[in-house]
């Protein structure tokens, strides 16, 4: 069974540009999550999508946005890139849990996209 896939592996952008990161979940998973792992800041939750809807959002500015497509794949967009956006962006997927919350839903991660902003 294929795991979570992410593309591209590496992305280099300049300040002010836009970046688009893509994620395909494990087959059968409908929830997709995005996390940022920046040097010195640790792993931080960005977004949760389920059934095409944004269900939860971390403490990030609106220039971080995304969407989930009908096939459950997801895209993360970062507008007006800043130097501090340089990080490893990890996507994860899990089985549907609904708004009641899923404390038993294991999130399986992809290999990540390393974004460098120059």
Partner 1 sequence: AQKITQTQPGMFVQEKEAVTLDCTYDTSDQSYGLFWYKQPSSGEMIFLIYQGSYDEQNATEGRYSLNFQKARKSANLVISASQLGDSAMYFCAMILGPILTGGGNKLTFGTGTQLKVEL
Q: What is the rounded CA–CA span in Å between residue 47 and residue 36?
A: 10
100 binds partner 1 (CB under 8 A): yes
Q: Give residues with Cβ within 8 angstroms of 79, minimum separation 6.
A: 18, 63, 65
Among 81, 110, 115, 117, binds partner 1 (CB under 8 A): 110
Q: Are the C-beta atoms of 35 and 45 separated by less than 8 Å?
A: yes
Q: What is the DSSP letter of 80?
A: S
Which of the ranges 18-26, 67-75, 78-86, 97-105 carries the binding residues for partner 1, by CB under 8 A? 97-105
Q: Binding marks (x or -) toward partner 1, 41..70, rule CB under 8 A?
A: -xx-x--x------xx-x------------
In order of 14, 49, 87, 88, 103, the CA distances from 23 in angstroms are 22, 12, 16, 13, 23
Q: Are the C-beta atoms of 3 and 110 separated by less than 8 Å?
A: yes
94 binds partner 1 (CB under 8 A): yes
36 binds partner 1 (CB under 8 A): no
5 binds partner 1 (CB under 8 A): no
71 binds partner 1 (CB under 8 A): no
Interface positions with partner 1 (CB under 8 A): 31, 33, 35, 42-43, 45, 48, 55-56, 58, 88, 90, 92, 94, 97, 99-112, 114
């Amino acid at each position: 069974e294929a795991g979570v896939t992410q593309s591209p592996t590496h992305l280099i952008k300049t300040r002010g540009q836009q970046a688009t990161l893509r994620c395909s979940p494990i087959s059968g998973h409908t929830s997709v999550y995005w996390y940022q792992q920046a040097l010195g800041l640790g792993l931080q939750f960005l977004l949760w999508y389920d059934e095409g809807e944004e269900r939860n959002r971390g403490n990030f500015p609106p220039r971080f946005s995304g969407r989930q497509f009908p096939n459950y794949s997801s895209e993360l967009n970062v507008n007006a890139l800043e130097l501090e956006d340089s990080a490893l962006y990890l996507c994860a997927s899990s089985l549907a849990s609904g708004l009641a919350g899923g404390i038993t839903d294991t999130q399986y991660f992809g290999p990540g996209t390393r974004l460098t902003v120059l």
